Amino acid sequence: MTTIKLHNTRTRTKEEFVPIKRDDVRMYVCGPTVYDRAHLGNARPVVVFDVLYRLLRHVYGADHVTYVRNFTDVDDKINARAAESGRPIGDITAETTQWFLDDMGALGALEPDHMPRATEYIPQMVAMIESLIAKGHAYAAEGHVLFAVDSWKEHYGKLSGRSVDDMIAGARVEVAPYKKNPMDFVLWKPSTPDLPGWDSPWGRGRPGWHIECSAMSYELLGESFDIHGGGNDLMFPHHENEIAQSCCAHPEGRFANVWLHNEMLQVEGKKMSKSLGNFFTVRDLLDQGIPGEVIRFVFLSTHYRKPMDWTEKKALEARQTLKAWYRGTDGVVASNNAPQDIVELLANDLNTAGAISEMHGMANRDEWSDLKASMQLLGLADSEHIEWFREDMNMASFNDLPDAGQKLWTLLGQWQSLRNARNYSEADQLKERIEACGLKLSVGVAGPEATKTEAFDPAKLEALK
């Protein structure tokens, strides 16, 4: 069996991945707060952990991997959006949740096995908070419940590599009279009548952000599971607080054995920011005509633990590369499995950039079946399902002449094969016959292309042998 090695943030080393149970591999990834469209940075962890999900399914079997990614659908940002728009909160979260799924689907991301919504797990959160109070790790004050960091001081900060004293000295934390320690964080907070709220032993209120993931992961994956992932901006305080809550509520477990964090995204070398005019949602790019496969390819071209720079040049280059790969793999039957070299590269801490490099070599060697299988493993859809590819290859102009378009597609493939075999004499003869039908042939970065002239005669093309 393939050995997977992953860089564990907790230990700061690359380790051999050994699941708790080989027939039950479990992964939890922090999902979005659903109040608006997902921006480009939100999409990076989705693609990163989608690749890991695909790799785990490839190695352990699809029936033996469980992937959970949550939706935070109770949050002050959602409340603010509802107040601004006058729309019901439920309508906003339902709409934006579907937006997220549609946009991530356009990037080729598989849907996780479970996609819990925070509002569906309020009773479980209340129960976990009650357990933390009973064990001396939390306390109620003025309608709030707070986690007492001092109760777990010797462990708190291990993931992010910070000590509690250093964090207190340099932290920007809410100073509130009901806090025993400035670092104590909210598990439950009161709700005013105009805000969402649920009955609890501490009055009508709503959960703090951090408790959501602890409660949902416990309910769906248990007190110990294999992998927890997310962007490195979540390492502190969110993931640090998750560990504290979960390990104190369920000391019999380890919570997550392996922690993976992806680096952040830039645009044209700068931090993405609305003030800089370089802020894009995924939907913005899709609506601009940048295909989801191209966005995914750009993401995959940089290792997940390195900062990724989105540039217009990279998107153009990715489109040309994919067009060439789709041209070569169109109609080709994929190998039964992706080549082991590709699997090993992905198994080496998700080295997608190395896999892309190896796939370039496959294309240069005309290893189209292996390339197609590799693309499938990386979540790049088959050419048969890519409309923009056929449009780029000038096939859209033949939509009203499907028979002629299919015939031309076949002939261009033959012409390309003759050229690849260096049989230039026959290739030139075939080119002359095709162009005699009123077409102009050329070879672009992605392979042969055909353009109609005024003399185009589809009947001649269909009759061509």
| Domains of the chain, CATH where assigned | 7-265 (3.40.50.620), 309-385 (1.20.120), 393-463 (no CATH)
Percent of the chain with pLDDT over 90: 76
pTM for the structure as a whole: 0.87
Cα(131)–Cα(133) distance, rounded to whole angstroms? 5
Residue 177 neighbours by CB distance under 10 Å? 6
pLDDT at 407: 80
In the sheet that holds 185-190, the strands lie side by side as: 138-141, 144-147, 185-190, 205-207
- pLDDT band at residue 174 under the 50/70/90 scheme: low
Position 282 pLDDT exceeds 90: yes
Cα(210)–Cα(221) distance, rounded to whole angstroms? 17
pLDDT, tens digit, for every residue of 204-222?
999 999 999 999 999 999 9
Nearest to 226 by CA among 29, 434, 2: 29
pLDDT at 402: 66
Cα(38)–Cα(270) distance, rounded to whole angstroms? 19
Cα(322)–Cα(389) distance, rounded to whole angstroms? 8
Nearest to 187 by CA among 237, 256, 258: 237
Cα(450)–Cα(435) distance, rounded to whole angstroms? 9
Contact of 187 with 146, CB cutoff 8 Å:
yes
Nearest to 293 by CA among 349, 375, 368: 375
Cα(96)–Cα(453) distance, rounded to whole angstroms? 46
- pLDDT band at residue 310 under the 50/70/90 scheme: very high
Stretch 431-451: mean pLDDT: 82
Q: Show binding-site residues for ATP.
A: 274
Question: Would you state the structure tokens that stand for residue 280, as one six-digit string?
Answer: 């894009």
Question: Would you state the structure tokens that stand for residue 131, as one six-digit string?
Answer: 């357990």
pLDDT at 394: 56
Question: Exposed/middle/buried for 225, CB within 10 Å: 0-12, 13-18, 19+?
Answer: buried
Cα(225)–Cα(17) distance, rounded to whole angstroms? 12
Cα(413)–Cα(251) distance, rounded to whole angstroms? 62
pLDDT at 274: 84
pLDDT at 3: 98
Residue 363 neighbours by CB distance under 10 Å? 17
Position 72 pLDDT exceeds 70: yes
pLDDT, tens digit, for every residue of 124-168?
999 999 999 999 999 999 999 999 999 998 899 999 998 777 666
pLDDT, tens digit, for every residue of 357-416?
999 999 999 999 999 999 999 999 998 888 888 666 655 566 667 677 778 877 887 887
Cα(188)–Cα(203) distance, rounded to whole angstroms? 10
Stretch 229-258: mean pLDDT: 96
Q: Please identify which residue in the block is written with the tokens 């050229």.
A: 419
Q: Show binding-site residues.
A: 30, 213, 238, 242, 274
Residue 81 neighbours by CB distance under 10 Å? 18
Stretch 438-458: mean pLDDT: 81
CA distances from 45 to 135, 166, 177, 253, 377 (A): 35, 29, 37, 26, 17
- pLDDT band at residue 89 under the 50/70/90 scheme: very high
More confident residue, 224 or 320: 224
Q: Where are the beta strands (DSSP E) in 133-219?
A: 138-141, 144-147, 185-190, 205-207
What is the H or E stretch that residue 460 is in?
Answer: helix 458-463
Residue 413 neighbours by CB distance under 10 Å? 17
Position 452 pLDDT exceeds 90: no
pLDDT at 1: 85
pLDDT at 461: 87
pLDDT at 312: 92
What is the H or E stretch that residue 266 is in?
Answer: strand 265-267
Q: Show binding-site residues for Zn(2+).
A: 30, 213, 238, 242
Residue 51 pairs in a beta bridge with none
